[in-house]
Structure 1
Amino acid sequence: MAGVGEFRCWEDLIPDALALIFSHLSLQEILTVVPRVCKSWAIAVSGPYCWQDIDIEEWSLQRKPEHLDQMLRMLVTRSCSSVRRLSVSGLPNDAVFSFIADRARSLQTLQLPRSEISDSIVEQVAGKLSNITFLDLSYCGKIGARALEAFGKHCKSLVGLKRIMHPLEVADKVCQDDEALAIATTMPKLKHLEMAYLLLTNRGVLEILSGCRELEFLDVRGCWDVELDEFVKEKYAGLKVLGPHIVDCYEMNNWDDCSDYSDSSSFVSWEFMDDDAGDYDGESFDGIWDDEQGLDGLEVRFYEGFNDSVAGFGWPSSP
């Protein structure tokens, strides 16, 4: 313990303590500024500490596929298999998903909205992602019941699933009860399920209610063919249901954000909310940061880092 009049230098902090502090900085600062401050800081951000929680979903929305691919491979590699949460939008291909599965086997939360992954790649690598407890596959139009079944069979601790689609993305489909059946038969521990705008029928929803007996929250907004009678409502009186009618944003004030999973075991009464209207190393990364739009205010929650090898992303050098 430092004596009176003494002080402890920041660079003397252990790497994981430094990484916890750095986690409050922006992605830009972690990648380009922090490693240039001093050797100990560079070491801290070159280990896995800063990259246990990788959230680049907002950043990835405005990036080219090749830049997103490069960034993901670099971040996941830096995590040294310690990443617990990965959130990214628009995963461009099966190859990068396979890369993630090979090097991120400790993942517990995986959020891949708008990704271009296929049923076949999920079936091949789902066994490497057995620690996942929350999964977001919203707006992933190239996957279906096969992928859901593969995740369900291998991710035995899965308690949260988000599978929301845009109406135009399911316009060419007749029915998606096969996805409901895959969920019902392979995900018995689900507590939180969002399936807004899928083409479900009563049969599909009843399969889910029968197979997922621990379910606490179900979002079926926009599932227009779903009409559950009073008997079903009474039988599952402890279940919180959103939909099938569209909920106005002002009517959501008394609800928790349905996209934020909570493992709370409390139950509330069955209710339908509706309104009257309907509602990499060695590679160059030049150009990956083509513009600053989307970087300001970006909150990146990480635990690990980088060194000078990531310089040249289009940002100015640190002072």
Structure 2
Amino acid sequence: MKKSTEPQWKDLDPFLLCLIFSHLSLQDQLSCVPFVCHSWLSALLHTLFDHPNLDLTSLQDLDGHDQQLQLRQLSRYFYLLRLAIKHCKNWVSLSLPCRNMPDFATLMSVAEQTPSICRVVVPCEASVDVYPVFVAVMYWRNLRAFQGPFRGSQFVVQLADYCEKIEELGLHGKFSEKDVSCIVKGFPRLKVLDLSDSTLPAAAVSVVMDGRLKCIRDLNVVHCKFLDEDGKDMRINYVKWKAFKLEILEKASGINTMKKFMHCFRERTEKPCEDCGVIDLEEK
């Protein structure tokens, strides 16, 4: 009998498979049959994970009405991720999702096998506690940049102890003067500090600009709410607000990003910054 010359399923071109997978949605990639040919699994792993940035934000798209289907897809994704850890060694950054965060065991597996990670982004809207990340940073000694929600000075201390090479730090939330002092003390080599969309006491801003951060070139306090010594919005008191602005402008004269948030420092009689919120001028 003459052998067929038609290509067999087991001989499918890996490049062609990767091309097909790249045009599918994440839901379709996770719902397809687990094995068709020898190259099927490796092509799927390559499509999902063989990139310098381990971007898990696509997990946010798995929300749906069918909870059982969602759980199966998440389970399969994390299974594939654990397989990929053995083969994909080129990850240098990690972006975590707002929802459907990897479980503790999966995140620890990633952290243990990725010492070359130098950038981590945790969304401020993340629906889980920062605890898994709190532990994972112990493995990322080469971390140069971190973005995430502020969850207390203890995490800042942990980050400073294990990731002393950090040059870019973004934390967002409600800070005390002590919290900001902890940041300045823990990361003296900071070049970029992003505290945007946060609540800060006025004294904390002075701490950032007291001269200890000698390498700082980018300070972002866009859309921040500044509090006076009584814990009230400084914009309510015109005299205090104007004095505070003049002090900040003088101290930040050498920082390149000052122009970015000048629109947040408008007078109360001018059109306010829409993202800074509306203040109650009747507040005492």
The answer to whether TM tops 0.5 is yes
TM range (shorter): 0.5 to 0.7
What is residue 194 of structure 2 aligned with on the other side?
Answer: 194
Q: How far does residue 128 in structure 1 lie from its aligned partner after superposition? A: 0.7
Question: Would the alpha carbon gap of residues 39 and 76 (structure 1) be closer, same or farther in structure 2, given more than 3 Å must change?
Answer: closer
Render the CA deviation track for 1:32-88: whole Å, top value 9, x for unaligned.
559767533533334698344332325427647x94974663354133163333222
1:213 pairs with 2:224: no
What is residue 60 of structure 1 aligned with on the other side?
Answer: 60
Q: Distance in 2 between matches of 1:238 and 1:38?
A: 57
1:133 to 137, 144, 154: 144
Q: Distance in 1 between matches of 2:251 and 2:115?
A: 41
Q: Distance in 2 between matches of 1:98 and 1:190?
A: 27
Q: How far does residue 10 in structure 1 lie from its aligned partner after superposition? A: 8.3
1:229 to 234, 243, 246: 246
Give 3-state SS (helix, strand or coil) of 1:224's partner. strand
Equivalent AA in structure 1 for residue 226 of structure 2: W
Q: How far does residue 240 in structure 1 lie from its aligned partner after superposition? A: 0.7
Q: Distance in 2 between matches of 1:233 and 1:71?
A: 55
Q: How far does residue 156 in structure 1 lie from its aligned partner after superposition? A: 2.8
Give 3-state SS (helix, strand or coil) of 2:161's partner. helix
Question: Would the alpha carbon gap of residues 98 and 117 (structure 1) be closer, same or farther in structure 2, given more than 3 Å must change?
Answer: farther
Give 3-state SS (helix, strand or coil) of 2:225's partner. coil
Q: Distance in 1 between matches of 2:57 and 2:154?
A: 25
Structure with the bigger RCO (C-alpha within 8 Å, sep 6+) is: 1
Unaligned runs of 5+ in 2: 1-10, 228-233, 235-243, 275-284
Q: Distance in 2 between matches of 1:50 and 1:196?
A: 31
Give 3-state SS (helix, strand or coil) of 2:226's partner. coil
2:272 to 248, 271, 277: 277
Q: Which has the higher helix share?
A: 2
Q: Is the 8 A contact 1:133 1:158 kept in 2?
A: yes
Render the CA deviation track for 1:186-244: whole Å, top value 9, x for unaligned.
22333332212333234322333333333232221223238353576366423313438
1:84 pairs with 2:92: yes
1:243 pairs with 2:225: no
1:163 pairs with 2:175: no
Mark the structure with the bigger radius of gyration.
2
Q: Is the 8 A contact 1:73 1:99 kept in 2?
A: no
Equivalent AA in structure 1 for residue 183 of structure 2: I
Q: Distance in 2 between matches of 1:34 and 1:191?
A: 48
Using the size of structure 1 for normalisation, the TM-score is 0.55
